[in-house]
Chains A and B, each alone.
Chain A
Amino acid sequence: DAGVIQSPRHEVTEMGQEVTLRCKPISGHDYLFWYRQTMMRGLELLIYFNNNVPIDDSGMPEDRFSAKMPNASFSTLKIQPSEPRDSAVYFCASSLDRGRLGEQYFGPGTRLTVT
């Protein structure tokens, strides 16, 4: 398997623009997670899905952030409008099933810079 795939790897955008990050989980994995990593706050869970259904979005910082999972092989994280404080590395991860939620496979991340 190719592992978790994320695109783009780098994104530079101006404040106020819409940003869409994409993720393809490992085939057969039931769970998908979106994380944000910054030096100040470390690794933060934003939202996770089970079988394409959002289970916990309590980590989504504000209404500017939204995530969707239209099918088992694709998810998006959208920021609209973007702000400089959204600059971070965003990771997508997937895990096989409920009994192994702790065994998460991370993608390479998308480094977002908002100027």
Chain B
Amino acid sequence: QQQVKQSPQSLIVQKGGIPIINCAYENTAFDYFPWYQQFPGKGPALLIAIRPDVSEKKEGRFTISFNKSAKQFSLHIMDSQPGDSATYFCAASKGGSEKLVFGKGTKLTVNP
């Protein structure tokens, strides 16, 4: 009930491609879904977050798509750049007011 399943484990795209990272959850009480970005040697940093009252949220080149009925959400990176190469974690919590449950992470490599 507390798990968030993330896929793929790793992803390689060419510059300009649109990598998509997917997450699925079981606990229907979850209603806050952030994505964190982590560069090597650094701590994770909040990238973008969504609540289930909307189906999509965009911030710059990053978009979260949310499917409440399927209990899935995904991160899309438009016009990906080598600087986007990092590990991305999805997460979920109840109302943003309890501890986060993290996915296992996706290592993204964007080749020049």
B residues near A52, Cβ cutoff 8 Å: none
B residues near A98, Cβ cutoff 8 Å: 97
Assess whether A106 is in contact with B43, with CB atoms less than 8 Å apart: yes
The listed residue (B42, B89, B99, B104) touching A108 by CB distance below 8 A is: B42
Assess whether B96 is in contact with A99, with CB atoms less than 8 Å apart: yes
- Does A101 make an interface contact (CB < 8 A)? yes
Complex: how many Å from CA A42 to CA B102? 8
Q: Could you jot down 7 A-B contacts, CB within 8 Å?
A: A45-B99, A45-B100, A101-B98, A102-B91, A108-B41, A108-B43, A109-B43
Residue positions of B touching A, CB distance < 8 A: 32, 34, 41-46, 49, 89, 91, 93, 96-100, 102-105
- Given A42-B102, A43-B102, residue A103 in contact with residue B46 (CB < 8 A): yes
Complex: how many Å from CA A77 to CA B102? 21
B residues near A69, Cβ cutoff 8 Å: none
Assess whether A101 is in contact with B43, with CB atoms less than 8 Å apart: no
Q: Which residue of chain A has its CB nearest to the CB of B51?
A: A102
Complex: how many Å from CA A104 to CA B44? 9
Q: How far is the CB of B88 from chain A (nearest CB, A)?
A: 12
The listed residue (B44, B98, B105) touching A106 by CB distance below 8 A is: B44
Q: Which residue of chain B has its CB nearest to the CB of A106?
A: B43
* Count of inter-chain pairs, beta carbons less than 8 A: 54
Assess whether A102 is in contact with B89, with CB atoms less than 8 Å apart: no
Please tell me the size bucket of the interface on A.
20 to 34
The listed residue (A43, A100, A109) touching B96 by CB distance below 8 A is: A100
Assess whether B102 is in contact with A102, with CB atoms less than 8 Å apart: no
- Given A102-B32, A102-B91, residue A56 in contact with residue B99 (CB < 8 A): yes
- Given A99-B97, A101-B100, residue A107 in contact with residue B46 (CB < 8 A): no
A residues near B104, Cβ cutoff 8 Å: 42
Complex: how many Å from CA A56 to CA B101? 13
Assess whether B105 is in contact with A102, with CB atoms less than 8 Å apart: no
Q: How far is the CB of A54 from chain B (nearest CB, A)?
A: 13
- Does A93 make an interface contact (CB < 8 A)? yes
Complex: how many Å from CA A91 to CA B91? 16
Q: Which residue of chain B has its CB nearest to the CB of A41?
A: B104
Complex: how many Å from CA A100 to CA B100? 11
